[in-house]
Amino acid sequence: RASSDPAPTVESQGFVLYLGSLVAWIIFLVWSLCTDDWLQWMGIEWYPSREWALLVPAWTIMLAALVYFSYIALNIFITPSLDSLHTLTDHNAYLLPFPAPAEGDETPHPLLANSVCLPEDAVPPLHDLPIGLVNRVVFGDYRRKQGKGWGSKRRGLSGEEIVRRHRASLDDEQGASD
């Protein structure tokens, strides 16, 4: 700020708040620790009951504990169940559309078109990766190719299937809200 600015600075406001809290703390300690005779000797005739010196800090601690518990309980309440597709994606996800395969069509897959096929200096658009693609990249496709494990007998969800189910669930939600 300019030196000619009449508004108080953050430093001066912080200093005043520090002094105010220090004075309030000293008054609290005098009130809670001094006997009635000392307070009357200092000229203080009326003051709240001393039980508030224990009740207010205890209630403050319990309020803080209740806030922590409430946030944890709220997060547990809004978490979708483990068998829900919303644990993989939600309505805010931007998934690239998967084109229908056509004979003789040389159109690249959208994941390739938005990353590999772009010019070198282009910034690809942000999008979410389908979980099937992430699993294939991280864990590989070797189990299915070799005929080992449960993946050879029972096919997992592909990226296209996840996108189709996600869009269908969003359409169902929008139809239910209309």
- Is 110 inside a domain boundary? no
> What mean pLDDT, rounded, does the chain reach?
76
Q: 32 vs 169, which has greater pLDDT?
A: 32
- Is 134 inside a domain boundary? no
Number of domains in the chain: 1
**pLDDT tens across 116-175, in order?**
666 778 777 777 877 777 777 777 765 555 555 444 344 555 556 666 776 777 677 666
The boundaries of the domain holding residue 16 are: 10-78
- Is 47 inside a domain boundary? yes
Residues 4-32, mean pLDDT to the nearest whole number: 87
Question: From CA 41, how far away is CA 30, in angstroms rounded?
Answer: 13
- Is 177 inside a domain boundary? no
Instruction: Tell me which residue of 98, 91, 167 sits closest to 133, measured CA to CA.
Output: 98
Question: From CA 14, how far away is CA 6, in angstroms rounded?
Answer: 17
- Is 116 inside a domain boundary? no
Residue with token string 């189990």: 143
Question: From CA 133, how far away is CA 100, in angstroms rounded?
Answer: 17
Identify the pLDDT of residue 114: 62
Could you tell me how far CA 108 lies from the centroid of its own chain?
36
- Is 5 inside a domain boundary? no
Question: From CA 135, how far away is CA 147, in angstroms rounded?
Answer: 17
For CA atoms 165, 154, 107, 102, give the dihedral sign: negative
Residues 79-100, mean pLDDT to the nearest whole number: 75
- Residue 33: pLDDT band with limits 50, 70, 90: confident
- Is 53 inside a domain boundary? yes
- Is 63 inside a domain boundary? yes
